[in-house]
Amino acid sequence: MSEDPGEGARPGRPFLARVAVDIRPLRECRDFRRLWFGTGISAIGSQITTVAIPFQVYALTDSTAIVGLLGLAAVFPLLTVPLYAGAVADAVDRRLLLLASDIALLLVTVGLLVNALLPSPSVALLFVAEILGTAAYAFQRPARNALIPRLVPRELFSAAIAVEDVVFNLARVGGPALAGLLIAVVGLAGAYALDLCVRRGGAVGARDRRVRLHGRSLACTRDAGRRRGRRLRQRAPPLHDHARGDAGLDAGPDVRDRARAGRERSGARQLRGGSGRLARQPPFLDRFGWTRMRRRDGADRAHAPGVAPL
């Protein structure tokens, strides 16, 4: 029996396919490729600054405690800014938000370079630069993550995330080593100057990014989302009733009573609230202050906002 000449090489192919990074998003998606390029060089610049600022603070103060305070100062914007950055990224053009954050980081690097060239660099300015740079990065990251699904097809989304993680991990590993080498060879001013060049390249990459979903604009995407929502509401009436019940809950009990006055049944005991009715009131509802019994036209009713239909 003759052996297939390619049989010996087959077992290795599935393993290589599992460990290899799928670079199809870079080949097929021009907009994602630009985003990836700008992200990579911006990440390298961030790592250079991350190493250079604490090194300069220690060189000026000879105090590890002040270096620790520098890291503590960066924690506050890192914890607070992302709470609002996501909402801002949903409300404005993400491309413009990325460009604005890149320009902000560029200006921070300019300030660091000017400060390093002064005869007596300011430690306070280093603290301000650290806080502003961290805040700009915290604004940039949610917008970048939300932009990726609009630049690649759905079947390439996982590969795009993997490629994005590769460039971030390479920057985290190689960026500090490059920063240490630059500080030792050309000094802090030279490191900031190279960071400035890198930031400028990142800003240029951000300027050319286009927010689109396979040729459709954001307005078209929003209209399509509304149409899908209306179709879902027609196919799933309980969801529609639940939404109407929530709106009634916000309106208050008196408004709900007037709106539902035409749908009462005399002599029927009903539990009204949220989006549904119960055949009778469960005993445990009597313990809560937000339920009350009313008698109107012979109907015994318990109003309990927020109770789901059974």
Domain ranges of the chain: 21-217, 235-303
pTM metric for this prediction:
0.59
Q: In the predicted model, is pLDDT for residue 229 greater than 80?
A: no
The answer to whether the beta carbons of residues 275 and 242 sit under 8 Å apart is yes
Res 216: pLDDT: 44
Res 3: pLDDT: 46
Q: In the predicted model, is pLDDT for residue 299 greater than 50?
A: no
22-81: per-residue pLDDT in tens?
788 888 888 888 888 878 888 888 889 999 999 999 999 999 999 999 999 988 888 888
**Residue 186, C-beta contacts closer than 8 angstroms, at least 6 positions apart:** 193, 194
Residue 246: pLDDT band by 50, 70, 90 thresholds? very low
272-290: per-residue pLDDT in tens?
444 444 444 445 444 444 4
Res 230: pLDDT: 65
Q: CA 306 → CA 232, 241, 277, 287, distances in Å?
A: 22, 12, 11, 16
197-218: per-residue pLDDT in tens?
877 655 555 554 444 444 444 4
Q: In the predicted model, is pLDDT for residue 129 greater than 90?
A: yes
Judged on CB neighbours under 10 Å (0-12, 13-18, 19+), 5 is: exposed
171-192: per-residue pLDDT in tens?
888 889 999 999 999 999 999 9
Residue 1: pLDDT band by 50, 70, 90 thresholds? very low
- At residue 292, the 3 state secondary structure works out as strand
Res 185: pLDDT: 92
pLDDT > 70 fraction of the chain, expressed in percent and rounded: 58
Q: In the predicted model, is pLDDT for residue 140 greater than 90?
A: no
Residue 16: pLDDT band by 50, 70, 90 thresholds? low
Instruction: Summarize the confidence of residues 246-251 as an average pLDDT.
Output: 45
| CATH of segment(s) 21-217 | 1.20.1250.20
Hey, what amino acid is at 119?
P
Per-residue tokens: 68: 């620790």
Instruction: Summarize the confidence of residues 137-161 as an average pLDDT.
Output: 83
Give the torsion sign (CA, 204, 207, 209, 215). negative
Res 228: pLDDT: 63
More confident residue, 267 or 239: 239
DSSP track, 109-176: HHHHHHHHHSSS--HHHHHHHHHHHHHHHHHHHHHHHHHGGGTS-GGGHHHHHHHHHHHHHHHHHHHH
Residue 297: pLDDT band by 50, 70, 90 thresholds? very low
Residue 8: pLDDT band by 50, 70, 90 thresholds? very low
Q: Which of 131-145, 169-183, 230-244, 295-309 has the highest mean pLDDT?
A: 169-183
The DSSP element (H or E) to which 106 belongs, if any, is helix 94-117
Q: In the predicted model, is pLDDT for residue 249 greater than 50?
A: no
pLDDT > 90 fraction of the chain, expressed in percent and rounded: 20
Q: In the predicted model, is pLDDT for residue 19 greater than 90?
A: no
Residue 264: pLDDT band by 50, 70, 90 thresholds? very low
